[in-house]
Amino acid sequence: MNDEFAWWFLVVGVAIGATIVWLLRGSIAREDADLDARERVAEAAWISRTIESSGGIAPADLVEQVLELHRAYLERASAEAIDAARAEDPGEPEAADTPT
């Protein structure tokens, strides 16, 4: 194998690797758990400014509390959904599924 051919493989490999990383990074959505405390404060401030710019009243402290409550609700709701799925007997149809 000659040197020019090896360099060509290296360049193509780096380009393919960079493309795969770019695609994966762009297609993976961020979740609430990905936000650190500074980003949450910035998020609350942005929401507060946006609401107030259209004439509403939304202090940043209140928005932070609402966002924390929302995250807690989502965690609780998903835990409750998991518990409910475990409690269900997959062999029995639900009441709504049974003909009357």
27-68 pLDDT tens trace? 666 666 667 888 888 989 999 999 999 999 999 999 999 988
Read off the amino acid at residue 3: D
pTM assigned to the model: 0.50
Q: Provide the residue count of the chain.
A: 100
Outline where 1-100 has alpha helix (H).
3-27, 37-53, 60-87
**pLDDT reported for residue 29:** 64
Whole-number Å distance between alpha carbons of 7 and 69: 55
Of 51 and 80, the one with more pLDDT? 51
Q: What is the dihedral of CA 68, 70, 73, 79, to 10 degrees?
A: -90
Of 14 and 100, the one with more pLDDT? 14
